[in-house]
Amino acid sequence: MSHRIKPPHTEKKPVTNINRDAQAAPAWPSYQGTSQLVGTSPSGRVTVYVDPSLGDPAMQNAQDLLNDADRVANANDGVFGTTGGPVSVIVFALNGAIDGTGGADHMGCDYVTGAAIEVDASFGNSVRVSALFEAELSECSMNGNLCGESTGEALSRWCAAFVSNNALADFATAPQWVVDGMPDFVNNTDNTDQSADSTGCGVAFISWLISQGYGLSQIAPALVNLGDGGTFAQLYGNLTSDDPANAWPNFQNAINSLPAGVTNDDPFNGLDQPTQMTHVSPRSAELVGRILATIITDLAAGRQPEQIAANVRTALLPVSRPIGPTVCKPGSKRLLPPGKTTKRSMTA
Q: What whole-number distance in Å separates Cα of residue 111 and Cα of residue 139?
A: 9
pLDDT, tens digit (0-9, with 9 covering 90-100), for 241-253: 999 999 999 999 9
Q: What is the pLDDT of residue 287?
A: 55
Q: Which of these ranges, 10-19, 138-147, 262-271, has the smallest mean pLDDT? A: 10-19
Q: What is the pLDDT of residue 227?
A: 95
pLDDT, tens digit (0-9, with 9 covering 90-100), for 96-120: 999 999 999 999 989 999 999 999 9
Q: What whole-number distance in Å separates Cα of residue 69 and Cα of residue 57?
A: 18
Task: Decide if 161 contacts 168 (C-beta within 8 A).
Answer: yes
**Residue 293 confidence class, pLDDT cut points 50, 70, 90:** low
Q: What whole-number distance in Å separates Cα of residue 29 and Cα of residue 113?
A: 10
Q: Is it the case that residue 88 has pLDDT exceeding 90? A: yes
Q: What is the pLDDT of residue 74?
A: 96
Q: Going by C-beta distance under 8 Å and a sequence separation of 6 or more, which residues neighbour residue 101?
A: 95, 120, 170, 336, 337, 340
Q: What whole-number distance in Å separates Cα of residue 164 and Cα of residue 310?
A: 7
Q: Which amino acid would we find at residue 272?
A: D
Q: End-to-end CA distance of the chain, in Å?
A: 34
Q: What is the pLDDT of residue 60?
A: 98
Q: What whole-number distance in Å separates Cα of residue 279 and Cα of residue 317?
A: 8
Side by side, the strands of the sheet bearing 87-92 are 36-40, 46-50, 87-92, 116-120, 104-105
pLDDT, tens digit (0-9, with 9 covering 90-100), for 318-338: 544 455 555 555 565 567 787
What average pLDDT does the segment 260-274 reach? 92
Instruction: To the nearest 10°, report the CA torsion of 176, 180, 185, 187.
Output: 150
Q: Is it the case that residue 16 has pLDDT exceeding 60? A: no
Q: Nearest to residue 314, comparing CAs of 337, 339, 297?
A: 297
Q: Nearest to residue 197, comparing CAs of 213, 215, 177?
A: 177
Q: Is it the case that residue 279 has pLDDT exceeding 50? A: no
Q: What is the mean pLDDT of the chain?
A: 84
**Residue 4 confidence class, pLDDT cut points 50, 70, 90:** very low
**Residue 78 confidence class, pLDDT cut points 50, 70, 90:** very high
Burial 296-309 (b: 16+ CB within 10 A, else e): eebeeeebbebbbb
Q: What whole-number distance in Å separates Cα of residue 129 and Cα of residue 87?
A: 15
- Separation in Å, CA 51 to CA 118, 122, 205, 274: 11, 13, 37, 40
What average pLDDT does the segment 302-312 reach? 67
**Pick the residue with more confidence: 278 or 41?**
41
pTM of the predicted structure, to 2 decimals: 0.80
Domains and CATH numbers, the chain: 16-144 (3.30.2010.30), 168-273 (no CATH), 280-322 (no CATH)
Q: Going by C-beta distance under 8 Å and a sequence separation of 6 or more, which residues neighbour residue 30?
A: 94, 105, 118, 332, 344, 346
**Residue 348 confidence class, pLDDT cut points 50, 70, 90:** very low
What average pLDDT does the segment 273-302 reach? 57
Q: What is the pLDDT of residue 275?
A: 47
Q: What is the pLDDT of residue 261?
A: 96
pLDDT, tens digit (0-9, with 9 covering 90-100), for 142-196: 999 998 999 999 999 999 999 999 999 999 999 999 999 999 999 999 999 999 9
Encode the chain in three state secondary structure. Answer: CCCCCCCCCCCCCCHHHCCCCCCCCCCCCCECCCCEEEEECCCCCEEEEECHHHCHHHHHHHHHHHHHHHHHHHHHHHHHCEECCCEEEEEECHHHCCECCCCEECCCCCCCCCCEEEEECECCCHHHHHHHHHHHHHHHCCCCCCCCCHHHHHHHHHHHHHHHCCCCHHHCCHHHHHHCCCCCCCCCCCCCCCCHHHHHHHHHHHHHHHHCCCCHHHHHHHHHHHCCCCCHHHHHHHHHCCCHHHHHHHHHHHHHCCCCCCCCCCCCCHHHCCHHHHCCCCCCHHHHHHHHHHHHHHHHCCCCHHHHHHHHHHHHCCCCEECCCCCCCCCCCCECCCCCCCCCCECC
Q: Which of these ranges, 35-49, 71-85, 98-112, 296-310, has the smallest mean pLDDT? A: 296-310
